[in-house]
Amino acid sequence: MVAMPNLDFEGQNTRYATHGLHAYAAKCPPQLVGYGLRYYSKPGETVLDPMAGSGTTLVEARLKGRHAIGYDLDPLARLIAKVKAQVLDDKEVERACETLMARSMRDLIALQTHQVTQALQRRAQLPEFVNRDYWFLPEVASALALLAWHIEHLETLQPVREFFWVAFSSLILAKTSVANARDIIHSRHHFQQHPQTPDVLEKFAKRIKQMRKQANEFQTLCAQAPPAKVEARLGDARKLCLRAESIDLVFTSPPYVTALDYTRAHFLAVAWMQAALGVGLDEYRACASRYIGSESGRLANMTQENDSLEELDQANAVLAQLEQKSLRQAALTRRYFNDMHSVFGKVVQVLRPRRHAIIVVCPSHIRKIVVPTHEILAEIGRSHGLRLKLQHTRTISERLRVMPYLQEAFGQRMDTEYVLVFQKIT
């Protein structure tokens, strides 16, 4: 009998190569992706992550010589994933960063010493968004505006510019944010007054130095692996544009049922990066309801025609229990499982016969009802002709450390995560 691998990875470094480049909610430990890739794919094969988030699957795939395609609805997620999984020209990063810092510093000093020309006024123009002056001190806002302008207009290679944008975003979304906010990415926004005005440019320079080290480590490790092509795409996991039977392995960790609003977690960074991301802030926030697991948006009436869960006994038993407590929570949960039903449909379509789909999920507690997400997804998988070949459990202490609000909201049972290994039978 084959021994079950221990997938807890307690105490292991999860930030090697570019994995620590940017904070992201509910990141998958790279070792878990590594396990999936080693057991269920070979170098040169193609892996898909339909909800790739910050790109853990893409980075690991490249390090292990697998081609990979990642999709995410979120433009910031896509940018982070792209930057983490690409090899950079470090000399160009260094050169471009010197120019960027010199120009931003020159403008900031001119602004502080009131030598303001019309051109400088244009470069220092702040984006308009609700509560901007609540979340950003005036000095911080000016420095961010100048930095953003110079990143956008710098003469450099596009991958280098994108690297700078990721550094920029991480200044705002890091635990020690330059915004008046505490741990934006892992919890609801909490206002936090800075004892001293953060020095945006100094922090940016430090960030770039750290990130260059990480990118260089990634580059060294990539050089030891078979060459692989990795792509981060913007797109909806329910509507993937991929050839049928073109994928050798699917690996993904979908959002939790009604757990997190990614657009709310990211908007303080997106507000400054609208041109770079190609999305207006209002449009970005309006997309919240398209994210699987979101609590936003109007809940369309489910009719028998558009409810794919009708035949699924376990899903319906849990939804009936939830309906007793809250019709809205039940409708949100129904929408989540219908969305996951569509994702599974796409996964089955693009996966080659006999190959595997690995889904990492956690059960939820909603209004004191246990929602066994892993069991309902297993039921959905079966309804699509997938065989649940293995089910591993793992303890997610490292996630609870970075997602304290989940523990608050869901209690003790959230510390078990399920790794479902499905096989396409035909």
Chain contacts with ligand SAM (rule: CB under 6 A):
24, 26-28, 51, 53-54, 56, 71-74, 77, 236-238, 253-255, 262, 291-292
Give me the phi and psi of 118, to 5 degrees please: -65, -40
Shortest spacing between CB 24 and ligand SAM, in angstroms: 5
Place of tokens 């757990």: 259
Q: Rounded to the nearest 10 degrees, how much is the dihedral formed by the CA atoms of 95, 96, 98, 100? A: 170
Shortest spacing between CB 59 and ligand SAM, in angstroms: 9
Shortest spacing between CB 262 and ligand SAM, in angstroms: 4
Query: In the complex with ligand SAM, which residue's Cβ is closer, 261 or 375?
Result: 261
Query: In the complex with ligand SAM, which residue's Cβ is closer, 346 or 355?
Result: 346
Query: In the complex with ligand SAM, which residue's Cβ is closer, 56 or 86?
Result: 56
What span, in angstroms and rounded, lies between the C-alpha atoms of 413 and 364? 8
Query: In the complex with ligand SAM, which residue's Cβ is closer, 45 or 49?
Result: 49
- Give the nearest residue (CB) to ligand SAM: 53
Shortest spacing between CB 235 and ligand SAM, in angstroms: 7
Query: In the complex with ligand SAM, which residue's Cβ is closer, 73 or 208?
Result: 73
Shortest spacing between CB 396 and ligand SAM, in angstroms: 12
| H-state helical runs in 154-199 | 158-173
Shortest spacing between CB 111 and ligand SAM, in angstroms: 36
Say how far residue 371 (Cα) sits from the centre of its chain: 23
If DSSP codes are grouped into helix, strand and coil, which group holds residue 384?
A: coil
Contact 260, 77 (CB under 8 A): no
Contact 393, 417 (CB under 8 A): yes
If DSSP codes are grouped into helix, strand and coil, which group holds residue 81?
A: helix
Both tokens assigned to 67: 């081609």
Contact 93, 252 (CB under 8 A): no
Rg of the chain, C-alpha, whole Å? 22
Query: In the complex with ligand SAM, which residue's Cβ is closer, 51 or 185?
Result: 51
